[in-house]
């Protein structure tokens, strides 16, 4: 069984037991979150598609913690001007483990 959810401005295909990194959520480590913006639910033979979301469908997940993403380097360089500026950014994500899918 799998579902497609909408979280943090992105769509994610999830199944039970899977670990997933989403945009930073305001939730404590070890708590359970309910993601109710479910776009599609399928069990292999039956498929249910929402318009835009499925009413009553939920994906429950346990918060494993906050993890950093990869570092992105920003380089500004002007040739022949003796000018170079390098900065970096690291985005933080919330790591979830999917525990259940309901709504089919």
The model's confidence at residue 13, banded by pLDDT at 50, 70 and 90, is very high
pLDDT of amino acid 35: 95
Cα dihedral 65, 70, 74, 75 sign: positive
Instruction: Give the phi and the psi of residue 24 in degrees, each rounded to 5.
Output: -60, 125
Q: How far apart are CA 41 and CA 48, in angstroms?
A: 5
pLDDT, one tens digit per residue, over 51-98 is: 999 999 999 999 999 999 999 999 999 999 999 999 999 999 999 999
Q: How far apart are CA 39 and CA 50, in angstroms?
A: 5
pLDDT of amino acid 78: 97
pLDDT of amino acid 104: 77
Residue 19 has pLDDT above 80, yes or no: yes
Question: What would the mean pLDDT of 23-48 be, rounded to a whole number?
Answer: 95
Residue 36 has pLDDT above 80, yes or no: yes
Residue 103 has pLDDT above 90, yes or no: no
Q: How far apart are CA 22 and CA 41, in angstroms?
A: 19
Q: How far apart are CA 91 and CA 58, in angstroms?
A: 27
Q: What is this structure's pTM?
A: 0.83
Residues near 81 by beta carbon (within 8 Å), at least 6 away in sequence: none
């Amino acid at each position: 069984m799998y579902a497609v959810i909408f979280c943090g401005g992105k769509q994610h295909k999830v199944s039970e037991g899977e670990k997933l990194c989403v945009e930073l959520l305001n939730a404590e480590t070890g708590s359970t979150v309910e993601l109710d913006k479910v776009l599609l639910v399928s069990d292999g033979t039956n498929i249910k598609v929402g318009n835009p979301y499925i009413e009553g469908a939920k994906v429950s997940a346990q918060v494993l913690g906050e993890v950093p993403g990869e570092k992105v380097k920003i380089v500004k360089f002007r040739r022949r001007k003796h000018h170079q500026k390098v900065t970096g950014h690291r985005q933080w994500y919330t790591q979830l483990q999917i525990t259940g899918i309901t709504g089919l």
